[in-house]
Amino acid sequence: MPRPVTVVYRVLPTPGDTARAAAQLFTDAAVKAATRGIARIAISGGTTPKTMFALLANPAEPFLKQVPWDKIELYWVDERCVPPDNAESNYRMTNEALLSKVPLPAERVHRMEGELDPEVAAARYESTIRNTFRLEGAETPTFDLVLLGMGDDGHTASLFPHTEALNEMSHIVVPNHVPQKDTWRITLTWPVINQGREVAFLIEGAGKAQVVRDVFLGPYQPDTHPSQLIRPASGRLALLLDAAAAAKLPKSADSDSTGTLELR
């Protein structure tokens, strides 16, 4: 049975407003975690996070000064199996929009090596996480913040519908063959994502409205909608959406357009 979770969703008028709310969420989570010594943050790729990254790196915005960059360890939730200079690379996108512009020490940036054989890359990333989190035995990592996106097919990270990685319960990182894209991906597993202290979806665009409704209001079919596997152990899941992506969610009475959904 899936774990019950409270989804706290916030609907922002535009993609720009959504990116700003996400930059604030990133900043707040980093500041809070840094009081414990280090902020370990796992980010997504795709296109949606780009504007948030640009806001975080923009000296004219408040975030660049507020984020404790020297206390951050940065990880990815997934990567495409391409070299880091490839246009498809999540690392490249993040480097261009954020890393090349902020004072985050390179040794604290842990990219997935998409250029390697997927099995090898996944195993190496699992040991990178084990070493940097100083895990022992069967211990698994607790990220301070996991930022997720959602594909219009209901996938998140590289957990695609009807793929092997959906059944993975013991590894931290796995290679995942995605026949529907005729490609391989490297991805964190969903039990590890669910262990995150804060887990948040950032979703934009009318093209996502139906899948958002299916994932959060539809029947529980995680093989078809893998984003339904995201049920954090904390019992809370944050959702930042623009109005277009939230078009098929219950209208919130609240003026600041926040609402909650109880997933049972």
Binding residues vs ligand 6PG (CB under 6 A): 44-48, 77-78, 80, 90, 149-151, 156-157
Structural tokens at position 39:
């902020």
In the complex with ligand 6PG, which residue's Cβ is closer, 71 or 201?
Answer: 201
In the complex with ligand 6PG, which residue's Cβ is closer, 63 or 76?
Answer: 76
3-class state of residue 21 by DSSP: helix
In the complex with ligand 6PG, which residue's Cβ is closer, 71 or 194?
Answer: 194
* Cβ 123 to ligand 6PG shortest distance, Å: 19
* Cβ 181 to ligand 6PG shortest distance, Å: 10
Q: Which whole-number Å values give the CA distances from 129 to 61, 91, 98, 134, 187, in the listed order?
A: 31, 17, 22, 8, 13
Q: Cα angle vertex 110, ends 108, 111, to 5°?
A: 145
Q: What is the Cα 159 distance to its own chain's centre?
A: 12
Query: What residue is closest to ligand 6PG based on CB?
Result: 149
> Is the Cα torsion angle 238, 135, 102, 67 positive or negative in sign?
positive
Structural tokens at position 40:
């370990």
In the complex with ligand 6PG, which residue's Cβ is closer, 19 or 71?
Answer: 19
* Cβ 203 to ligand 6PG shortest distance, Å: 8
In the complex with ligand 6PG, which residue's Cβ is closer, 185 or 197?
Answer: 185
Of residues 151, 61, 49, 148, the one with CA closest to residue 93:
49
* Cβ 50 to ligand 6PG shortest distance, Å: 8
Q: Cα angle vertex 239, ends 216, 191, to 5°?
A: 75
* Cβ 37 to ligand 6PG shortest distance, Å: 27
Q: How far apart are CA 19 and CA 68, in angstroms?
A: 19
